[in-house]
Structure 1
């Protein structure tokens, strides 16, 4: 069995009531994808930075997942033959 490891880097920045997250997926020799997320605190809510971080990162990971699925779909289309036939 071959073991593989993919790494995701998460960067979070805050500007006032806005929190931005960027996640990077680096897969050796395959993909380098980036997902983005944003959250905004309602000014009448108590400031709890962890909530903004969690929401922004969750949204960035969801964006990354969508991009990875799109990349995978393109790869499948490239290697799949006519309906029901594979070229591998």
Structure 2
């Protein structure tokens, strides 16, 4: 059985001087929303490349979203299985 599911993702960027801030939001098919932020700071001696700041800040925001999604999935697995699905930290 093939099921098509979609998530809605929004990314916004704010740039001020040598700082770039990204705000990310994902809305899952069940209506759950997660929000995250990421930052990038350009070193004063680096050339101005706005896109690079967006890529770094955006990637950091998406990494935060990924972490939140993994936590949600583990919680749902734990609730059904009655045991911890998280890997052991070594």
TM (normalized to structure 1)? 0.86
Where does structure 1 differ by over 3 angstroms across 4 or more consecutive aligned residues? Answer: none
Q: Is the counterpart of residue 29 in structure 1 residue 30 in structure 2?
A: yes
**Separation in 2, partners of 1:65, 1:71:** 10
Structure 2, unaligned stretches of length 5 or more?
Answer: 85-90
Give the 5 Å matches for 1:1-88.
1-81=2-82
Q: Is the 2:6–2:29 contact (alpha carbons within 8 Å) kept by the matching residues of 1?
A: no
Counterpart Cα distance in 2 of 1:82 and 1:45: 49
Bigger Rg over Cα: 1
Q: Secondary structure at the match of 1:46?
A: coil
Report the TM-score when normalising by structure 2.
0.84
The change in CA–CA distance for 1:82 and 1:46 in structure 2 (over 3 A counts) is closer
RMSD value over aligned CA atoms?
Answer: 1.5
Task: Confirm or deny: 8 A CA contact 2:5 2:29 kept in the other structure.
Answer: no
- String of CA shifts for 1:9-57, please: whole Å, max 9, x gaps: 0011111111000110001334210121100000111111010000000
